Amino acid sequence: MTDVFIVSDNIITSLGFSTGENASNMTAGITGIRLISDESLSPDPFYVSLVDTDRLRGTFSQILDPEEFTRFEQMAILSIKAAVAATKIDFSGERTLFILSTTKGNIDLLGKNTGKNDPGLYLWHTAKRLGDFFRFRINPLVISNACTSGLQAVITGSRLIRAGYYDNVVINGTDIISEFVVSGFSSFKSLSTGPCRPFDSTRDGLSLGEGSGTIILTNNKGASKQTFRIRVGMGFSGNDANHISGPSRTGEGLFLVTDRVMKNSPSMPDFISAHGTGTLYNDEMEAIALTRAGLQNIPVNSFKGYWGHTLGAAGVIELAMCVHSMNNNVLFPTKGFREPGLENKLNVIDRVIKTEVNACLKTASGFGGCNSALYLFKT
Amino acid sequence: MTGYYITGYCIIRNNEASVNGKPVFSAHGKNTREFFTDLYKFLDSDYPKFHKMDNLCKLGFLSSELILKKNGVRTIFSGSDTGVILANSSSSLDTDRMHQVTIINRAAYFPSPAVFVYTLPNIVIGEICIRNKITGEGSFFIQEKLNPVFLTDYIRCLLDCEIINRCIAGWLQVDGDDCDAMMCLIEKTDKPISGFVNFEPSVIRDIYNLRI
């Protein structure tokens, strides 16, 4: 079977504009989640992780006019550009596919009265603008599967390479903070009263975040002839078939996908990067599912305490940090976690650990009862 | 020889519905919402959750009932070997606009979880899975227009790798008055029965272009 490698990545969040800068800040124990008061986003102050607007515009203006591109596009372009520049692969041909993963795209345009049918509201149009900018030949694909979008995009990309349709897949996941999204999660009463505390006994909700992540997959059959270390293993998605907005009480969907991934993987993972939003029910659901899959003793973390829940970008951003963990043999603590607060105990990582990291399991769950899991390992 | 076949398909558009090429229901002069309610009653589905759904979910639910009911009896494909792979061009924009209305000014600020939950296109996958107890692969793709080659390639890839054994696949578009659905049931079988239709991009295109 064709091997699929992760060859390049980038993360843009409140903690930095590269994967390395994010990791340095995480190592220093810094969170990008802040209490903000901004009437244009919410009537009440709330905790959120925002990408620094001045830095975004400043960095973007070095390559293009920020007035010509939306906030969403600026983040996505900077992230893709950084990841593409870090490889020797030629992406110009018909063997490269671009996948955009997002839940809401330029949804902020809906509140700006730019016209009922502003093309910027259509996700395929947004993807096409990004794809055209990078001169990707093939029509881009958009995946919008709620909070599993990013991970599902990587799973889909790896399948299309294995099936022989493409040699390279460039995956970008981006979502921005908007009044639209803040008001919705607020109406669900799912926002935390402080920076989110995944798996902690005092956790009381999620913190939203924005950001952009890019992951580039290749079978390395092109002309680059580079040596790559991180291989993409099996990944699956599955549905709880239980409720459209509440996590399953039995963790059915997440159990099914993690169990299936592990049955198709060469060894136990050295750590699990969980979804870990910090809501009461999500975190408990994950603990139930991982316990059912026999993974309760594997070290597990959530990255949400650093840059919040970045929705459709989360799977890509968090998987990029998993790659960093593997390449640097370091496990990051779950920011916000202090004392165990789950009925089903998990082995939550609470400090920086330097250790050999040869394999990783990444999971995600979202509205609509969707769940995804993916295995990464070193060659 | 094992092959992949389209064992059922439906179209819903212009206030009409057809199954396997045969018109089964029409209700002209109604708006989209009223038409969906009439079609729901015609299908005799007895599923009160239907009335809570947004229009995209109703369209997906009705399409799935049309292809899964044979002689009035719903075929059960519960479990993880059935996939639901859907696409459209406007995501959940129809309901996004409804949520936006609830936050447009501070004097009348009343965002509702009952609306907001439908501002994701993949919720319809969840609704179809809940109805049929399907726990298999699900993905929602956003594309400018129906791309039969991509859908066929991707679903073949899932079937070839035995990730799933059958797939509910379709195009579900609701954007204001633009309502357009095509849904197919694709099954892996070694005993092709006459009347089964080959799972090919050209066939998907022909089905989509059928006049009711």
Kindly list the residues from chain B whose CB atom is less than 8 angstroms away from the CB atom of residue A236.
137, 163
Alpha carbon of A249: minimum distance to chain B alpha carbons (Å): 14
pLDDT at residue B1 above 70? no
Q: What was the pLDDT predicted at A115?
A: 67
pLDDT at residue B194 above 70? no
**Mean pLDDT in residue range B47-72:** 96
Kindly list the residues from chain A whose CB atom is less than 8 angstroms away from the CB atom of residue B153.
160, 163, 165
Q: What was the pLDDT predicted at A227?
A: 78
Q: Hey, are the CB atoms on A236 and B163 less than 8 Å from each other?
A: yes
Residue A225: band (very low, low, confident or very high) from pLDDT cuts 50, 70, 90: low
How does DSSP classify residue A244? S
- The share of chain A scoring above pLDDT 90, in percent, equals 95
Q: Which two tokens stand for residue A146?
A: 């709620």
Among the partner-chain residues A104, A183, A252, the one whose CB lies closest to the CB of B135 is A252
| Strands, E assignment, A176-284 | 208-209, 211-218, 230-239, 271-273
**Mean pLDDT in residue range B147-151:** 97
Among the partner-chain residues A139, A241, A260, the one whose CB lies closest to the CB of B130 is A241
Q: By C-alpha distance, which of A235, A313, A300 is closest to A271?
A: A300
**Mean pLDDT in residue range A162-183:** 98
The residues in A 28-67 lying below 8 A from B, measured between CB atoms, are 43
Residue B110: C-alpha distances to residues A66, A177, B104, B113 (Å): 33, 19, 9, 10
Q: Where are the domains of chain A?
A: 5-218, 230-378
Q: Hey, are the CB atoms on A187 and B141 less than 8 Å from each other?
A: no
pLDDT tens-digit profile of A314-368?
Answer: 999 999 999 999 999 999 999 999 999 999 999 999 999 999 999 999 999 999 9
3-class secondary-structure state, position A80: helix
Domains of chain B: 3-92+120-208 (3.40.47.10)
So what's the ipTM on this one? 0.97
Minimal-distance CA residue of chain A relative to B101: A111
pLDDT at residue B64 above 80? yes
Identical fold, A5-218 and A230-378: yes
Q: Which two tokens stand for residue B199?
A: 């799972």
Q: What was the pLDDT predicted at A228?
A: 83
How does DSSP classify residue A201? T
**Start-end of H helices in A141-207:** 149-162, 179-187
Q: What was the pLDDT predicted at B177?
A: 78
Residue A61: band (very low, low, confident or very high) from pLDDT cuts 50, 70, 90: very high
pLDDT tens-digit profile of A1-24?
Answer: 789 999 999 999 999 999 999 999
Q: Which two tokens stand for residue B110?
A: 């009343």
Q: Which CATH class is domain A230-378?
A: alpha beta
Q: What was the pLDDT predicted at A224?
A: 66
DSSP chain B: --EEEEEEEEEEETTEEEETTEEEEE-TT--HHHHHHHHHHHHT---GGGGGS-HHHHHHHHHHHHHHEETTEEPP--BTTEEEEEEESSTTHHHHHHHHHTTS-GGG----HHHHTTSSTTHHHHHHHHHHTB-S-EEEEE-SS--HHHHHHHHHHHHHTTS-SEEEEEEEEEETTEEEEEEEEEEEESSPPTT-EE--HHHHHHHHT---
Among the partner-chain residues B80, B109, B142, the one whose CB lies closest to the CB of A123 is B142
**Mean pLDDT in residue range B169-191:** 91
Q: β-strands A353-354, A370-378: how paired?
A: unpaired
Please tell me the distance from the alpha carbon of residue A169 to that of residue A95, in angstroms, as a whole number: 8
Q: β-strands B16-19, B3-13: how paired?
A: antiparallel
Go through chain B and tell me how many residues it has: 212
3-class secondary-structure state, position A84: helix
Q: What was the pLDDT predicted at B181?
A: 98
pLDDT at residue A223 above 80? no
Judge whether A292 is closer than 8 Å to chain B, CB to CB: no
- Going A93 to A6 to A170 to B82, the CA torsion angle's sign is positive
Please tell me the distance from the alpha carbon of residue A97 to that of residue A243, in angstroms, as a whole number: 33
Please tell me the distance from the alpha carbon of residue A264 to that of residue A301, in angstroms, as a whole number: 22
How does DSSP classify residue A343? S
pLDDT tens-digit profile of B48-59?
Answer: 999 999 999 999
Phi-psi category of residue A115: left, alpha or beta, with phi > 0 → left and psi -120 to 50 → alpha: left
* Mean pLDDT rounded to a whole number for chain A: 96
3-class secondary-structure state, position A271: strand
Q: What was the pLDDT predicted at A221?
A: 79
User: Contact at 8 Å (CB) between A199 and A301?
Assistant: no
Q: Which of A124, A149, A154 to mutate to test the interface with B (most CBs of B within 10 A)?
A: A124
**Which CATH superfamily does the domain covering A5-218 fall into?**
Thiolase/Chalcone synthase (3.40.47.10)
Among the partner-chain residues A124, A162, A253, the one whose CB lies closest to the CB of B144 is A124
Q: Which two tokens stand for residue A119?
A: 């093309």
Q: What was the pLDDT predicted at A152?
A: 98
- The share of chain B scoring above pLDDT 70, in percent, equals 97
**Start-end of H helices in A218-277:** 252-263
Q: Which two tokens stand for residue A31?
A: 């969170």
Q: Which two tokens stand for residue A304?
A: 């949400």
Where is average pLDDT lowest: A21-35, A154-168, B187-201? B187-201
**Mean pLDDT in residue range A80-97:** 95
User: Contact at 8 Å (CB) between B138 and A237?
Assistant: yes
Q: What was the pLDDT predicted at A112?
A: 86
pLDDT tens-digit profile of B78-132?
Answer: 999 999 999 999 999 999 999 999 999 888 899 999 999 999 999 999 999 999 9
User: Contact at 8 Å (CB) between A173 and A312?
Assistant: yes
Q: Hey, are the CB atoms on B143 and A124 less than 8 Å from each other?
A: yes
Q: What was the pLDDT predicted at B212?
A: 65
Q: What are phi and psi of A178, to 5 degrees?
A: -140, 160
**Mean pLDDT in residue range A132-154:** 97
**Start-end of H helices in A250-309:** 252-263, 280-292, 304-307
Q: Which two tokens stand for residue B126?
A: 């969840």
**Mean pLDDT in residue range A115-134:** 93
Which residues sit opposite A35 in a β-bridge?
A47
First-to-last C-alpha distance (Å) of chain A? 14
Residue A375: C-alpha distances to residues A57, A266, A275, A299, A342 (Å): 36, 10, 14, 15, 24
Q: What was the pLDDT predicted at B196?
A: 75
Q: Taking each helix axis from N to C terminus, what angle separates A71-85 and A53-61, rounded to the nearest 10 degrees?
A: 60
